Amino acid sequence: FVHEVEMLARLSHENIIRLIGFVEDLKQGKAWIALSWESNGNVREFLASGKWEIPERVSLIQDMFEGLRYLHTHEPPICHGDLKSLNILVSSSCRAIITDFGSARLVSITIVATTNQLTLTGPVWSLRWAAPELITEEQQPGLASDIWSAGWVCWEMMTDRVPFDDLKRDCAIMLKVVQGTVP
């Protein structure tokens, strides 16, 4: 919780959720993060709410990549780690806003090729959008796995289908992803 608040407090971009503050109830040992309200819900809900044409969909995709570029060029770079349509909100002005920066904690690892640090926003990722190397545990989430997930979000935005929507069992999804099979 504290790491997520600290990270969000450092971020400022029109395609990244804005931290308003946080509330803590010391007696009950509970805390809440207050984020900006985005009236159109997440991308999946938004696209299901009407007949959105390709230009509107492409605009949302561009916004998502602008937010991702901001994260990936931040110093140190920030890996979202769980990019999916449910973690991209749509503002009242129909702009995409990346949200959900870590259900667990921030983790720093060293990038092998440089001395830079890479900040992960959480160790949990969503199977349908996960890169093959995450499923096979060859790598931890990184900038490349964010791009892989963003590709699936693009596919979802253009087709109105969740990746591997015909598969219900995790093991079947994992097999398809690792084999490089696309829906």
Farthest CA pair distance, the chain: 51
Residue 82 bears catalytic tag: yes
- Selecting among 63, 82, 100, 146, the annotated active-site residue is 82
| DSSP H or E segment with residue 143 | helix 143-159
CA angle 32, 149, 135 (to 5 degrees): 95
| DSSP H or E segment with residue 107 | strand 107-110
DSSP-derived secondary structure for 10-63: H---TTBPPEEEEEEETTTTEEEEEE---TT-BHHHHHHTS---HHHHHHHHHH
* 73 in Cβ contact with 32 (< 8 Å): no
Q: How far, in Å, CA of 83 to CA of 146, rounded?
A: 6
Q: Which residues are catalytic?
A: 82
